[in-house]
Amino acid sequence: MILGIDIGGTKTAFGFVDAKGVVVAKDTIATTGHTDIDAYVAAVKAAGGALMKSAGVAAITGIGIGAPNGNFYTGEVAFAPNLPWKGIIPLKSLFEQAFGIQTIVTNDANAAAMGEKKYGAAQGMKDFIFVTLGTGLGSGFVANGEMIYGHNGFAGELGHVIVDRSPAARLCGCGRKGCLERYASATGIVITAGLMLAEDKTDSLLRDKIGVLTAKDIHEAAEQNDELALAIFDYTARILGQALADAVAITEPEAIILFGGLANAGDYILKPAQHYMEENLLAIYKGKVKVIRSTIPDNDAAILGAAALIAN
């Protein structure tokens, strides 16, 4: 039994995962408010211990942690803007001291990619790209059966390749302009919707929701055959597909697996993304790279991903 912990900006989800990849018990505690890291680790330990007891878990063999800016090599979380701790936090050693058990830390997208490899759509794959289309765009590249962590543990930032160098390029939270995640993510598609609603006067179900629009609203409008919503998906998928074609030229994966809020739009994003990727692929890759959806349930993905760090 492995304890998988997903540290998010708002809450920390944790659960016990058995050898078959079943989350046998799970719970959450707040991350927000825990500005003292030692008190936070103690709170996770107390809540984890309580859940262990109530679920009848006898012992755990390791702890996997997925966290924003988590570093596989150092076991630290460094300068994570969405977490309550400043500077560099040695998560791995803090958890190993508190729990007395092996702990592995990595960033949330890499953890989710490992979860996909162990329990999801990437089972048996040695070369794939995992892409999570949420608030931002996170990714994990697996080659030769191994996660590409990079020289300092910071590889896999597909969300920050530049897809627009024109003056109109969108400003990114990273301080640069034109990053993929400002176009292809749950956030990006909402920005696109706002721009297209302003520029295009076509009637649309989305006009009622200007200002409070979500990726889910655009998906629902697309299901009603709303023309503008379909155009918004097409625009988003074109930029994503072009960027995926470039990524394929580097690692030549067997598949690209999409996960997260925007991926929940299913074929509305998958089909045009595959189409535009194909259109932009070098001939030797055409017809050889699948674009598929994650098979891990959204709710369990982070816990399973964290657990996969140990199970793998």
What does the binding site for a second copy look like in residue numbers (CB under 8 A)? 126-127, 141, 143-144, 146, 148-158, 160-162, 165, 174-176, 242, 245-247, 249-254, 280, 282-285, 288-289
Alpha carbon distance 305, 55 (integer Å): 21
**Nearer residue to a second copy within complex by CB, 39 or 250:** 250
Q: Least separation, in Å, of the C-beta of 291 and a second copy?
A: 14
**Nearer residue to a second copy within complex by CB, 46 or 174:** 174
**Nearer residue to a second copy within complex by CB, 132 or 264:** 132
How many CB atoms sit inside 10 A of residue 79's CB? 12
Q: Among 301, 287, 295, which Cα is nearest to 254's?
A: 287
Tokens of 284: 């030797």
Tokens of 189: 């598609």
Q: Among 221, 247, 223, 219, which Cα is nearest to 161's?
A: 247
Q: Least separation, in Å, of the C-beta of 310 and a second copy?
A: 19
Q: Among 260, 289, 250, 229, which Cα is nearest to 137's?
A: 260
Q: Least separation, in Å, of the C-beta of 170 and a second copy?
A: 15
Q: Least separation, in Å, of the C-beta of 74 and a second copy?
A: 13
List CB contacts of 279: < 8 A, sequence separation 6 or more.
Answer: 241, 245
Under 8 Å between Cβ of 65 and 105:
yes
Q: Least separation, in Å, of the C-beta of 122 and a second copy?
A: 12
Q: Least separation, in Å, of the C-beta of 168 and a second copy?
A: 13
**Nearer residue to a second copy within complex by CB, 184 or 247:** 247
**Nearer residue to a second copy within complex by CB, 289 or 296:** 289
**Nearer residue to a second copy within complex by CB, 160 or 182:** 160
Hey, CA dihedral for 274, 279, 284, 287, is it positive or negative?
A: positive
Alpha carbon distance 218, 226 (integer Å): 9
Q: Least separation, in Å, of the C-beta of 7 and a second copy?
A: 19
**Nearer residue to a second copy within complex by CB, 12 or 71:** 71
Alpha carbon distance 113, 121 (integer Å): 10
List CB contacts of 104: < 8 A, sequence separation 6 or more.
Answer: 62, 63, 64, 65, 72, 75, 92, 309, 310
